[in-house]
Every structure is written in structure tokens, then in C-alpha cells.
Amino acid sequence: MEYVIEMLNITKKFGEFRANDNITLQLKKGEIHALLGENGAGKTTLMNVLFGLYQPEEGEIRVNGKKVNISNPNVANDLGIGMVHQHFMLVENLTITENIILGSEPKKMGVVNIKDAAKKVAEISKLYGLNVDPYAKIEDISVGMQQRVEILKTLYRGANILIFDEPTASLTPQEIQELIAIMKKLITEGKSIILITHKLQEIMDVSDRVTVIRKGQGIGTVVTSETNPEELATLMVGRQVTFKTEKGPANPTDEVLSVQDLVVTDNRGIERVKGLNLSIRRGEIVGLAGIDGNGQTELIEAIAGLRKVKGGKITINSKDITGKSPREITQSGLGHIPQDRHKHGLVLNFSVGYNAALQEYYHEPYSKNGIMNYKVISEKANKIIEEYDVRTQGEWELSRALSGGNQQKLIIGREVSRDPDLLIAALPTRGLDVGAIEFIHKRLIEQRDNGKAVFLISFELDEVMNVSDRIAVIHDGQIVDTVIPSETNEQELGLLMAGHAIKGKDALKEGVDRDVK
Amino acid sequence: MSNRVVSLLVPVISIILGLLVGAIVMLFSGYDPVNGYIALWNGIFGDSYAIGETIRQISPYILAGLAVAFAFRTGLFNIGVEGQLMVGWFAAVYVGAAFELPMIIHLPITLLAAALAGAIWGLVPGILKATLRVHEVIVTIMMNYVALHVVNALIKTVSGGSYKTEKIQPTASLRSDFLSNLTDYSTLHYGIFVALAMVIVMWFILEKTKTGFELKSVGFNENASQYAGMNVKKNIVLSMVISGAFAGLAGAMEGLGTFGSMTSQGGFTGIGFDGIAVALLGANTPLGVIFGASLFGSLKYGANNMPNAANIPLEIVSIVVALIIFFVASGYIIRVGLQRLNKKKEAK
């Protein structure tokens, strides 16, 4: 059997901590090999070893059967290994071609030869069906397109082995489908791919084999066609994971949130929420399903007081909170897990402890007469760390140093522990592994069972269907319909999200016909 | 070598390197570096008089450094310390001369006036930043020029056309016979205690108070602070106001301590601009500012002795002083060098 990459018994230590402990990964030529593990299991560390950013303490790396010493990323490049990073490393105001040649500019008599480079970029783009415009600026193109630029960058430098680090984390479902097509195309052109991910469905869809690591240890490699998502999840987490969220029937009582004829505009003054009506009661989880950009962000921000309301009325517990400050709204009983954890959720340069107190620092016991009580704050932080399994070195550690999943758990811990009457959870499980997702879903349901109202916003239909008691479908700034999860299916939801507001089987059929036409 | 040893070694090596390169400059210009450095040393620590004057010089540097550091820690860049210092100086001298009150009331009021004047000068860029998003660097630089000319005009007005204000009342003076006698009749005054007290005040505000928590939070992330219910605009303005108050007190050091009056200024004093370097040298921490200010103050005062005692022209002296500060500021390079050396040793 021919292996292009062999990482044999790799051990990487940071001090006494073994980030990678005896992991073996063998990549066959022309295969998509998935690397599966929880947040913080050591996937990225292993790939950084392969890419020359870290030196392993034990084990060896072979490329095409020959033992190599990858001392830095340049060596990796020369060996034909390219990495498509999770966070894109692109210069916003340069063109695609300029970004691709950055650092190895082709020169003609001392002047950068953009024209030839652009031609080459266009050729590679055509060969792999990437469909990029070499002269477009990064700031003008979509996230999916930016990722293609990253792929192009590695191909331009002659990579034969591509590492994708959680490539679908920031993509829309449509873009994910396109990415999968590109990956398959790359394979038919003779490339080999390592795909780092914790999304099981993706692995089932595209990979040939899967190597699983758990808490730094190599668990083994399985052939995708001989396994199933349940087995993979068990291998990854180390215990049985339930996919279908367990919950009893809802017992909704009084209304907590009422939104009437709400109108909200975006930063450019364009109306994004157009006369929206919504009601959420105690003891129920209402899911908001919709395609990104249909007014979800503006709706949440308006409820939370982060965006001006142009018209209409919002009440929490029958108290009018329209146009009130975020502080007043929080005090009226709102807890808010924001959509963008880096922008709104955390002060990244604050410690975990400071962030744990971000919503409550201003009142007793966290502060008194203008003086902070950091002892109480660190006690609270430690409680959240323990209860919500936030993996950190301690409450003094900067939040910036935490992995995305643990940052999210910190925010959820902070918001849920305040026990708000209404909890808005916007994309609460984005970027998390199945174990963490299960945990968060349980917490949301627990809040509901305690008689609180939960408003869940998600782009993942699975999540909305599994967790919600009612699903409100948003399209073009309005709720087009409200459905019960058990009485609907993904197809119907998909049609509603696309703006087909008529319910029932005939309508469904009609909708499909319309789409076909 | 442990990290601790490295942290101690870095400043020492930086200063030695600075002195070495300074020596080369002196040598090539035809002056004796040994004599030059002896003169510098004597200028700083030579006798109790020199020590007194050096400490006197350090006081305004501490306050100017605090002003820059405070704004920096709360996300703003205050380049206007120079102007805030000048209005503070004038306000202190005016209040110090115009009223006759017992010292226990007069001196605090005078200091307060200086802080208030600096705070008002910081308020303007603060409000413009908070409401119209005008960059504070531009506004503070312009406010420096406004301060220079407004203060000169005011000096002329209150002195009836002269170039110098009246002397302040003794009840408003920071001068101290005790400190002066102790240091062989130097102009050392109580200002150093005001400066050190403000170091504690800055630490207390930032690390202990709710206000400090909000100021830092807004400085790091305005969006998250808004989400957490903080008043972002208020905190931006407050940051500039507190920073300006520190700068105003730096002016009071000159007005109430060193000079006892204010003379029409031909240009900037330079203390405010040096405050930027002091703050950065001190990594924007209160304690670090004391270190940065001590280095600046010592070199600035001690260097005065070099032309007299070693016949080195002032221009060369300025270059030597700048070189020493340059090497201390580039401590990072030395740190990296030491770590490389360490790695090599470990590899062997």
C-alpha cells in the first residue's frame, strides 16, 4: 500500500502536558482522510507538527516512504504539504492574485509580474473548478470564496497534500456543498487530503477513512464505509452519545416575550425586520429557522437593546422594553448568548474570571460602593468553569487563549447561571463537537423545564427540529409561519425558509414544481 | 537561565549597550567618554544637591507618564499631555496667586484646579471621540497648539502685558525647606509625594474599582461592553478626563514646585511628549511608569553636568542620552537574543 504521508507514533509535549500521545496517521495517495476529535483533543497540534510549526518529542514522519525532518513550514511547502487554515490569512485590501503570490512574488526585471501570476491563478482555478476572479479584492468576496483563495494559495505553491482545518466552520450549507465538490475534484486530479473536523455528517459524506483521537491519544483508524455516525461519536467522546435530544412535552404558560409589528433597519438604513410578530411563553423553546441574512441578527439585537427599533413594540414579562438600554433589558430578565462570541460575547483580553462577571459586575456581591470584589468574582468563575466544563488553566487565564468551544461554554455558563426569564441563544453550538452540543441542548431544555422561555436561533435545521417545541420560520424580515417539529419535515421547513408561506402537502408539491421550473 | 534572571538581565544589558554605543559616539567626536560618564554620574548622584534636583525632575515625568499610560490602558492614545500639562500649570499658578487662604485649603484647591484644567483639556477630544468618532490623536495634537497659545495669551492678560505671572502665595507652594535643607538647598519639593500618591491612585482605579473595570472593558472591546450594559460613550470621555487630570497635575509640579510662576512659553516643554516614552518604557503599568520616569528624569538632569564638567557639547550629550533610552526601549531585541543563547546551551 502506498502512503504519501505517514505520521508514526507521534508524541508532542508542552511541559508535562501531552497534547499528542502516540498518534499514528497514514494518508494514502488520492484519499480524503478525516481527522476526528473533540474540541481540544489535539487535532490542530498534530497538524502543526506535520506542517513544521511544532517539533515532536517522539515518533517519525515519512513522506512517500522517506523519513523527513520538517523543521519549519518552508520545509513542509517544499515537500508539497499545504494547509488551508480555519482562520483565513488574507490581506483584505489586496486582490486574490496579490494574496496568492504574497511572499513568493514572481519578478520580471525587479518588478512584480502580476499579469503572469494572474494567468497562472486563472488556469489553476479553471482546472479545479474554483471559479475565482484573479483580480477581485478579498474584501469584496464571500467567505466561501475566500476559502477557495486559501486553497488556491496552496495549489499555486505546488501542494499535493492539502490539510483542511475545520473548513466548514464558517460556511453556509450551500457553500459547504460547493466545498465538498471541490474536494472531490482535487482527489480526481491526484491530490490527497487530510480533513480536520468534528462534524460527523461531513465525514460520512466525503471521507474515505477516519482517524480518531481522544484527549491527545490515537484511538485508531476506521474505513468510513464500514462505520456509522453513532460509532464515530462513541469513539470520539469515549461514551455513548444521544443524537435525538431527550425531552418531555412542553408545558407553556404565561407569555414572556412579545414582539409586535417590529421594524428594524441595518447599519445602512435598509429595513431588515419588516413588521415582525412573535410570542414566546414560559416553559417552551421556540426555534427560529431561516436562511442567514433574513433579519435574524437585527431581530435579536433589537430585543437585546443593541440596535435601535424603528417601529413596533417589544415587551418582556408585559414590561415595555422598546428602545431601553441593554442594561435595563438585562435587568428585565433577558439572558443573551450572542451570535458573535468574539464581537459581543467576550472581552478577549479579559481573564476568564472577568468575563464570567461581565453581566453582573456592577451589583453586589461582585462590587460594592464602586469597589470590585474579585474574590467573589473568581469564586463565581470557578463555579462556572466546573459546572460547564470550561477547559482552561484557571480563571486568571485570558479568554483569548481558550478554544472556541470553551469560550462558548463560558458565555453559556455566564448567561444561564443568571437564570433569566428569557434566554436568547443565537447559534449556541456553532463550532462545537457533539459532546458539547449535547450538553448545551440539555441545558436549554433544563431552562425550559424550570419554567423559563428559550429562544433558539440556528442555521442548522437538525438543531431547530430537535430542540424546539415550536419553530418560527423567518423570511425577509417576517415570520412566515409557525410549525410544530413533529408535524413538519426538513423539506417543508426549507420551502418556508425560501418564502413559500402556504402550508400543506399540495403547497409542498407546488413549491417543488415552482423550484424546478 | 530562568525567566526571572532574564527579566533582570534585560534592563542591565540594555543600559550597558546604550552606554557603550554612546561612548563610541563621544570617542569619534573627539571627547573622552570616561570623563563624560563620570560627569553624568556626578550630575545624577554626585552629591545630595544633585540627587535632590534629579528627584525634582522625575516628579512631572511620573505624572506625564501616568497620563499616557492611563489612556493607553483604557484603549486611547493621549498625545495631548503636553497641552493638558500647560493649562494645568497655568491654572495652578493663577489660583495659587489670586487667593489668600490657609495652606490646608489653598494647596489642595490649587492642585485640584490644575487637575481640573487638564481634565477639561482632555474632555474635548474625549467628547469628539465618543460622539463623532474623531480620532483622539488628531484632536489631542491640535489641542496642544491651542493650549500653547491660549496659555501665553492668558499670561499676558493676567500679568497686565508682562511675560510672567505673579509669584504664587507661599500657602499654595509645594516648596519645602525641610527637603531643600536635606539636599543641600536644591529645589526638591513635595511634588514627588503627590506623584507617588497618583501612582497608587492609578493602580487603584484600574485594578480595584468598578469604574476601572468598565474603562478597561470599553478600551478592549466596545461591542462586548455595550452588550454588557456599559455606557461606552461615557467611559471614553471619562478615560480622557482622568488622563488629562494626571497631565494637569504634572503642570502643577512645575507651577507650584519648581518655578512658582509661569513664564510665556516659546514652545512645548517636552515633558508631555517624553511622557509617551515614559509610559511605553514602563509597559503602561503604574510601577513601570516610576521606572521609566526615573530613567528619563535622571538622564535629563544629570546630562546638564556633562557640558560643564567634561566639556562635551550639549548636542553630543543629547545624542548619548537618546542612545541610552533607545537601547532600553529595544529591550525586546536583547530578550530574544538571550533566549536564543539559552536554547543553544540547552541543545548542547
B36 domain residue, yes or no: no
Which of chain A's residues have a Cβ under 8 Å away from the Cβ of B208? 371-372
Which of chain A's residues have a Cβ under 8 Å away from the Cβ of B238? none
Q: For residue B133, is it left (φ>0), alpha (ψ between -120 and 50) or beta?
A: left
> Residue for cell digits 474540541?
A39
- Report CB contact under 8 Å: A326, B226: yes
Contact B306, B39 (CB under 8 A): yes
Which of chain B's residues have a Cβ under 8 Å away from the Cβ of A376? none
Angle at the Cα of B87 from the Cα atoms of B86 and B93, rounded to 5 degrees:
90
The reply to whether A95 touches chain B by the CB within 8 Å rule is no
Domain boundary among A385, A419, A453: A419
pTM: 0.80
Contact B329, B27 (CB under 8 A): no
Average pLDDT, chain A: 88
pLDDT of residue A363: 93
B344 domain residue, yes or no: no
* Same domain (yes/no): A152, A228: yes
* Same domain (yes/no): A307, A411: no
Q: Would you place residue A490 in the very low, low, confident or very high pLDDT band (cuts 50, 70, 90)?
A: confident
A412-467: pLDDT as tens digits? 999 999 999 999 999 998 878 888 888 899 999 999 999 999 999 988 888 899 89
Taking one residue from A and the other from B, the number of pairs with CB-CB distance under 8 angstroms is 61
- Report CB contact under 8 Å: A348, B227: no
- Among the partner-chain residues A304, A348, A362, the one whose CB lies closest to the CB of B210 is A362
pLDDT of residue A424: 96
A115 domain residue, yes or no: yes
Mean pLDDT of A100-107: 84
A32-53: pLDDT as tens digits? 999 998 877 888 889 989 988 8
pLDDT of residue A103: 79
* Same domain (yes/no): A39, A162: yes
Name the H helices within B47-135.
48-73, 81-98, 103-132
Predicted confidence (pLDDT) at residue A288 exceeds the cutoff of 50? yes
Q: What is the full per-residue pLDDT of chain B (348 aa) written as tens digits?
A: 566 677 777 778 888 888 899 999 999 999 999 999 999 999 999 999 999 999 999 999 999 999 999 999 999 999 999 999 999 999 999 999 999 999 999 999 999 999 999 999 999 999 999 999 999 999 999 999 999 999 999 999 999 889 999 999 999 999 888 988 888 888 899 999 999 999 999 999 999 999 999 999 999 999 999 999 999 999 999 999 999 999 999 999 999 999 999 999 989 999 999 999 899 888 899 999 999 999 989 998 999 899 988 888 888 888 888 888 888 878 777 777 777 777 666 655
Domain boundary among A419, A450, A483: A419
Nearest CA in chain B to A347: B221
Decide: helix, strand or coil at residue B166: coil
* Same domain (yes/no): A26, A159: yes
* Same domain (yes/no): A109, A151: yes
Q: Give me the number of domains chain B comprises.
A: 1
> Choosing among B213, B214, B233, which should be mutated to test the A contact, i.e. which has the most A CBs within 10 A?
B213
B1 domain residue, yes or no: no
CA-to-CA distance for A114 and A227, rounded, in angstroms?
A: 48
- Among the partner-chain residues B208, B220, B227, the one whose CB lies closest to the CB of A349 is B220
CA-to-CA distance for A103 and A94, rounded, in angstroms?
A: 13
Contact A42, A19 (CB under 8 A): yes
Query: Tell me, what amino acid is at B270?
Result: G
Nearest CA in chain A to B207: A372
Mean pLDDT of A91-113: 86
- Report CB contact under 8 Å: A347, B213: no
Which of chain B's residues have a Cβ under 8 Å away from the Cβ of A303? none
Residues β-bridged to residue A255: A281
Residues β-bridged to residue A260: A313
B238 domain residue, yes or no: yes
The reply to whether A399 touches chain B by the CB within 8 Å rule is no
pLDDT of residue A509: 46
Boundaries of domain holding B95: 59-282
Which of chain B's residues have a Cβ under 8 Å away from the Cβ of A327? 229-230
pLDDT of residue A502: 53
Start-to-end C-alpha separation, chain B: 14
> Choosing among B221, B232, B343, which should be mutated to test the A contact, i.e. which has the most A CBs within 10 A?
B221
CA-to-CA distance for B195 and B189, rounded, in angstroms?
A: 11
Cα distances from A96 to residues A90, A134, A147, A378, B86, in angstroms, run 9, 5, 11, 46, 51
Q: Give me the number of domains chain A comprises.
A: 3
Q: Would you place residue A107 in the very low, low, confident or very high pLDDT band (cuts 50, 70, 90)?
A: confident
- Report CB contact under 8 Å: B213, A354: yes
* Same domain (yes/no): A224, A353: no
Residues β-bridged to residue B226: none
* Same domain (yes/no): A284, A160: no
Q: Cell triple for residue A325?
A: 438600554
Which of chain A's residues have a Cβ under 8 Å away from the Cβ of B203? none
Q: Would you place residue A208 in the very low, low, confident or very high pLDDT band (cuts 50, 70, 90)?
A: very high
Burial class (CB within 10 angstroms; exposed 0-12, middle 13-18, buried 19+) of A137: middle
B19 domain residue, yes or no: no
B114 domain residue, yes or no: yes
A436 domain residue, yes or no: yes
Q: Cell triple for residue B263?
A: 513664564
A109 domain residue, yes or no: yes
Tell how strand A209-214 and strand A217-223 pair up: antiparallel
B27 domain residue, yes or no: no
Which of chain B's residues have a Cβ under 8 Å away from the Cβ of A344? 223-224, 226-227
Nearest CA in chain B to A327: B229
B112-148: pLDDT as tens digits? 999 999 999 999 999 999 999 999 999 999 999 999 9
- Report CB contact under 8 Å: A336, B221: no
A341 domain residue, yes or no: no
CA-to-CA distance for B310 and A440, rounded, in angstroms?
A: 74
* Same domain (yes/no): A76, A187: yes
Predicted confidence (pLDDT) at residue A269 exceeds the cutoff of 90? no
The reply to whether A439 touches chain B by the CB within 8 Å rule is no
Q: How far off is chain B from A238, nearest CA to CA, in Å?
A: 36
Burial class (CB within 10 angstroms; exposed 0-12, middle 13-18, buried 19+) of B164: middle
B257 domain residue, yes or no: yes
A353 domain residue, yes or no: yes
> Choosing among A348, A358, A360, A362, which should be mutated to test the B contact, i.e. which has the most B CBs within 10 A?
A358
Decide: helix, strand or coil at residue A391: coil
pLDDT of residue A513: 45
* Same domain (yes/no): A119, A227: yes
Q: How far off is chain B from A346, nearest CA to CA, in Å?
A: 6
Nearest CA in chain A to B205: A371
> Residue for cell digits 426555534?
A287
Contact A314, A323 (CB under 8 A): no
Which of chain B's residues have a Cβ under 8 Å away from the Cβ of A346? 221, 224
Contacts of A119 (CB under 8 A, 6+ apart): A134
Radius of gyration, CA atoms only, chain B: 22
* Same domain (yes/no): A353, A432: no
pLDDT of residue A514: 44
Complex ipTM:
0.85
> Choosing among B3, B210, B234, which should be mutated to test the A contact, i.e. which has the most A CBs within 10 A?
B210
Comparing CA positions, the residue from B244, B251, B67 lying closest to residue B165 is: B251
Q: How far off is chain A from B208, nearest CA to CA, in Å?
A: 6
A153 domain residue, yes or no: yes
* Same domain (yes/no): A228, A369: no
Boundaries of domain holding A77: 3-237
Residue A151: which CATH number?
3.40.50.300
A146-158: pLDDT as tens digits? 889 999 999 998 8
Residues of B with CB under 8 A from a CB of A: 208-213, 216-217, 220-221, 223-230
A247 domain residue, yes or no: no
* Same domain (yes/no): A411, A438: no
A245 domain residue, yes or no: no
